[in-house]
Amino acid sequence: MNSFERFHNRLHGLPVDRPPNFDIMMTFAAHFIGQPLSRYYLDYRVLAEANQAVQQAFDLDLLQAISDPYREASDMGLEVEFPEDGLPVSKKPLVVAPEDLSKVRVPNPSTSRRMSDRLEAIRAMKSHSAGQVPVMGWVEGALAEAADLRGVNNTFVDLYERPQWLLDLLEHCVEVEIAFARLQVEAGADIIGLGDAVCSQISPRMYRRFALPYERRIFDAVHQAGSVARLHICGNTTRLLPDMAQCGADIVDLDWMVGFGQAAEIFGTGPAPCGNFDPVAVMFQGTPDMVYESVRHCLRVGGARSFVMAGCEIPDGTPHENLRAQAQALVEYGGAYGT
């Protein structure tokens, strides 16, 4: 069974030889092939090569065109610096004051610098995978995008002091994300992930007003284009789980603070849960035995449609033997229990 078949069957509750490995890798992938982070962020060829290398080395079940949260924001006018081998940095918000909304560009993803680079990465991965491994594109959620353009602290103040203005900014952002998602599917993405990390810091009421409707619109567009939708919100989203179940995603990632079994129970026949052992304490700092047992625990409580990943990105410098322990646990669980 190849990775695409494994992904498709698991999503629909059909038998698989082993549960899929859906780890997210970015900085780890770049350094795995000896490339500085700036090249990983700015050159699709490095992004594609790095993801192909880690997919093969650690038995991942997807290729992922994900690097950083600033692709759309950069092309919308945000100034972003790329240190040679460090994380990208935005030192000044684009929308400093409410009247700066006019500064936000409406980019064409096909021609704008960073968004078009992701499209090229997807095309390269699709050509390489030949239908054997699913390719995942990525967009930011509207609220996460607003926070990139406006600054997180300013955005949180906007939630209270100028909610209608924030809704106007979100409308601008969601249209950019929908256009970008559609073109990624057209380029060959089998899955579109959506990152909305700031949502773990807001209340369920605010999530329902300022995030959930926009996630639904993006996922509706993803489904209409013919792809699978995946939601990723870093942090403790326990209080948001009932609403996240209604977002329209096919797969919902869960960080390590969330009870995986609890989430699976809440989701029911809705989205497939994906997660969720601790990427630092277990994967980065732990032993192969710790990883092995954590993976098996997730599988026991996650249900027959669950996917396995560390709760968030695999940290740079993670011991290779720990990643191999994850792969071993998936194979042996599939062989022992049938899935």
pLDDT along the chain (339 residues), means of 10: 97 96 98 98 98 98 97 98 97 92 94 98 96 98 98 96 96 98 98 98 98 99 99 98 98 98 97 97 98 97 96 98 98 71
114 token code pair: 């960073």
Q: What is the pTM of this model?
A: 0.96
Phi, psi at 255, each rounded to 5° = -75, 170
Q: Which domains does the chain have, with CATH numbers?
A: 3-337 (3.20.20.210)
Q: Tokens 């979100």 — which residue?
A: 170
150 token code pair: 């406006």
Q: Determine contact, residues 279/315, Cβ cutoff 8 Å.
A: yes
Q: Determine contact, residues 101/168, Cβ cutoff 8 Å.
A: yes
pLDDT of residue 98: 85
98 token code pair: 């409410």
pLDDT of residue 338: 53
pLDDT of residue 339: 58
Between CA 120 and CA 122 the distance in angstroms is 5
Closest Cα to residue 26, out of 35, 18, 15, 17? 35
- Identify each DSSP E strand in 48-124 by its residue range: 63-64
Contacts 24+ apart (CB under 8 A), 288-292: 288/321, 288/322, 288/324, 288/325, 289/325, 291/322, 291/323, 291/325, 291/326, 291/329, 292/325, 292/326, 292/328, 292/329
Strands 251-253 and 63-64: unpaired
